[in-house]
Amino acid sequence: MKIWQLLILVAVLTASVALALTNPSMDAYLSFVESELGKALDRHESATPNRERAMVRTIFRAHSHELVVSVVGPHTVRRNWGLFSFFETTALDTRIEVFAIGGRFIPLKGIDDAILRLGRLAF
């Protein structure tokens, strides 16, 4: 085996180990959904500065973790492929698909629809 082939093999193995170690967990996914929900609420809040809505949003934000854990958690399937994961959530009549690799989440489908539906339920 030549030295450059050995170096490529070491680089591939190092990258594989790094991806396996940074493969996001279900808790990380729930935190991601919670942060996306918070961002959506912030965008919507700047458009409608009603006092009552602001108070409801404040209460909603205080309990967002419980909401995400109880609504999203039980309806999520994680497919762990070792180096990356695929999360599929079916909740609020919406199918959410998210690809996760290296500690990052890449929404593929449905996250905007779910956030809108969840926001409507909250208000």
Over the chain (123 residues), the average pLDDT of each successive run of 10 is 90 92 93 82 62 68 80 90 92 86 91 69 55
Q: What is the pLDDT of residue 113?
A: 76
What's the token pair of residue 37? 């929900």
Q: What is the pLDDT of residue 79?
A: 95
The DSSP 8-state label assigned to residue 69 in this structure reads H
Q: What is the pLDDT of residue 22?
A: 92
Give the side-chain half-sphere CA count within 13 A for 29: 29
Q: What is the pLDDT of residue 120?
A: 62
User: pTM to 2 decimals?
Assistant: 0.78
Q: Contact 85/23 with Cβ under 8 angstroms?
A: yes
